[in-house]
Amino acid sequence: KSSKWIMSLIWCHIFTSRREILTRIESVILGIVTSLSKDEAPVLALPKRSSWASVSFDTAVGLQMSSGCSVTTIRSDCPASATKFAQIVKIISVIYRLVQSNSYATKRDIYYNNTQLFGSQRTVDTIVDDISCLLKIPRRSLHVLATSKGLISGHLCYLEEDGTRINCHSSSAAVAVSSNIVGIRNIVSSAKFIMIVEKDATFQRLLDDHFCTKLSPCIIITGKGVPDVNSRLMVRKLWDVLQIPIFALVDADPHGIEIMCIYKYGSAMSFEAHSLTVPSVMWLGLLPSDLQRLRVPEEALIPLSKKDEGKLNSLLKRPYLTSQPDWQKEMELMQQSKVKAEIQSLAAIAPDFLTSIYLPNKLRYGGWV
């Protein structure tokens, strides 16, 4: 009981109070009004989210925004940034009304609110994240929801905020990850572990082979490639509540490794690391060393492209890799062998090798790093 009480306090802390959100928005607007009253052109300073120079690494949390991170200046009197300034102010005003009325909207709703101003859905997506970073408030606390692309299945039941009971074990079909993770409650599970699956095709294969019931009770989740915020939030919430091991099953290539690192350490959304990262994620497979150990046929291996090599070099320089020597070894092995492989390459050994031999043996005998 005490651990659940502590976790509820943490989640309450993460999801900032409505009054605090309104105060922070009012502070931004006051800055704009003050500039106008002095006959000065208003300016917004946005933290550079995508710059590695703006990020520091904490082993217990993951990637975090540095306190003195660099900023991008959005001027209202500069032709190159005036439109973006107007777009930001418009979305801030929408968010203010949503929070004030305790109602919610999707990013798609905001786009259709003024398609001429925004031009594309991508513009809205980026600006919502910029505002979240500017205000230092998690996006979901801004009452802006995104449609989830992730899927989840296995030994798990919970209640949605509206009282709908979700049973992830009711059929061979997966359940879409909720768009409102903070509203989920009454989580019940007998799962012994959670497995993050990089790709939808592998996830569907595990479903078809009834993986969650064959070996031991578990939960599998996929963000269908690079995970959306809701998929990452779901993994984090399950880890907080269930306190069970979390494994990652990704392709043995730089892209798969980067996706696993997003779940474990974070991404450009580093200012939200406390609620998005799961530092305990373990790399179950596909390991570059597995390719040699299992003698995966050469025809199933793919040569690394120049882009792959560049990505691999970039990953090896990231601040969090120094705390993961075993991961470094695997990535250096990939560098030396100059080959990569998809999870599906295991089918070259035997059609059911992944679910009947590879995963059961890995999980039984501790074949992760």
Half-sphere exposure of 332 (CA within 13 A, CB side): 8
Q: Return the DSSP state at 67.
A: T
Cα 151 vs. chain centroid, distance in angstroms?
Answer: 13
How many beta carbons lie within 10 A of that of residue 53, not counting itself? 10
By the 10 Å C-beta count (0-12 exposed, 13-18 middle, 19+ buried), 151 is classed as buried
| Largest pairwise CA distance in the chain | 74
For strands 175-176 and 151-154, give the pairing.
antiparallel
Neighbours of 163 (CB within 10 A): 8
User: Which member of 96, 104, 111, 112 is catalytic?
Assistant: 112
For the question of residue 263 being annotated catalytic, the response is: no
In Å, how far are 32, 51, 66, 281 from 48, measured between CA atoms?
20, 6, 11, 27
Distances (CA, A) of 297 to 291, 306, 311: 9, 23, 25
Helix 18-37 with 82-101: angle, nearest 10 deg: 140
Please identify which residue in the block is written with the tokens 């709908």: 164
- Residue found under tokens 């418009």: 90
Residues with a catalytic annotation lie at 112
